[in-house]
Structure 1
Amino acid sequence: MTDDAPSATAKHTSPDQDLTMQSVTIGRPADELFAYFRDFSNLSSFMDNVERIDVIDEHRSHWVVKAPAGKTVEWDATVTAEEPGRSISWQSEDGADVPNSGRVTFTDAGARGTVVSATIAYDPPAGIVGKVIAKLFQREPAIQARRDLRRFKQLMETGEIATSSRTQTQLQEERA
């Protein structure tokens, strides 16, 4: 039996799946944020562990994501539901290195902008051991979702992502 409730309230989730929910308020209109997010090729600009996303067609994409110990994981994802300007849901296809599904919603917050909420369900590779390793390497999805939403906020509000470290280019310029 399948449960068509939103993941945050679903009654029939797999006991092997982890669920993470994160939200951030961004000072931009929902339609603008949705449009940027919906172009999946943009996501690697603020999702730190995403190496690349290849858009296959309007509903499918191929993801390559950094994993612990210098490895990568890959999967194809399909958009399962979409309300332009309001929400988008997806599900990884069979054979994914990390089976996952999720939903991102864009809720008008009046003069404050838009509340962007991400709910992600995933099966950690190697079960609990894989989850512990991912947490140690700061690659655990709950940690990443929080950081990625913060970077999305910075990018959408200021046009850039603040960093406390200097880039290779900055170091070379200082030495010259």
Structure 2
Amino acid sequence: MSTAEAEAEADVATAASITIGKPAPELRALWLQPETQSRIWSHFAEVTPSGEQAAEWTAHGPAGGEYRWRTAVTDSEPDLVRWATQDGADVPNVGELKFRPAPGDRGTELHLDVRFDPPGGAIGQALSKLFHIAPREIVRTALYRFRALALTGEIPTTDPQPAARKGGEDR
């Protein structure tokens, strides 16, 4: 395998789209709220807001590995939000969310593109396994969770719910 092929294999780029029956400015404002990121990406990583339009990420990978990075919004326009990791990231990545009018006045199309760039060596191989499991599913799930949050104010879950009896556990 050539060096270029190895580098191309290490890069994990994925994209997904979804239509939400809400106006773009409302969706953009929700996306940029600090607590939104921690809620929509919780299936993949712990996201902790850290300042204006920045967040600390922790993903758990193969063999109990823990990978950390910090992202910050690099560009924000009415129809676009871009972010990138800052120096020292275990998993350098960039992302872009575009807002487009949906056909037939049915709300807004969201187009989410994310590119992860795992480092080389043994760590890179472990991270590649983590992100190659289903990179598109990571992004797709985040968009589905965002749509649920935008439309209902909550994200559905199959986690056990407390029943308020016997200490909050249904037995």
Scaled to the shorter chain, the TM-score interval is 0.7 to 0.9
> What's the counterpart of residue 108 of structure 1?
101
Report the Cα offset of residue 129 of structure 1.
Answer: 4.7
Q: How does 1:46-125 map to 2 (within 5 A)?
A: 46-47=40-41, 48-56=43-51, 58-84=52-78, 86-109=79-102, 110-124=104-118
Task: Find out whether 1:169 has 2:162 as its counterpart.
Answer: yes
> What's the counterpart of residue 132 of structure 1?
129
Structure 1 stretches of at least 4 aligned residues deviating more than 6 Å after TM superposition:
none
Would you say the 8 A contact 1:99–1:122 is kept in 2? yes
TM-score, normalised relative to structure 2: 0.77
Aligned equivalents of 2:31, 2:62: Cα separation in 1: 25
Bigger shift: residues 165-174 or 92-101: 165-174
Aligned equivalents of 1:18, 1:103: Cα separation in 2: 14
> What's the counterpart of residue 39 of structure 1?
33
Q: Deviations over 1:22-52 (max 9, x none)?
A: 1111111111110011123321112222323
Would you say the 8 A contact 1:41–1:55 is kept in 2? no
Letter in 1 for 2:27: L
Would you say the 8 A contact 2:12–2:135 is kept in 1? no
> What's the counterpart of residue 4 of structure 2?
none
Letter in 1 for 2:26: E
Aligned equivalents of 1:33, 1:68: Cα separation in 2: 34
Aligned equivalents of 1:127, 1:72: Cα separation in 2: 13
Aligned equivalents of 2:160, 2:13: Cα separation in 1: 34
Report the Cα offset of residue 70 of structure 1.
Answer: 4.3
TM-score, normalised relative to structure 1: 0.75
Question: What are the ranges of 5 or more consecutive residues in structure 1 without an aligned counterpart?
Answer: 1-13
Aligned equivalents of 2:35, 2:152: Cα separation in 1: 20
Structure 2 residue matching 1:98: 3-state secondary structure: coil
> What's the counterpart of residue 7 of structure 1?
none
Report the Cα offset of residue 69 of structure 1.
Answer: 4.2
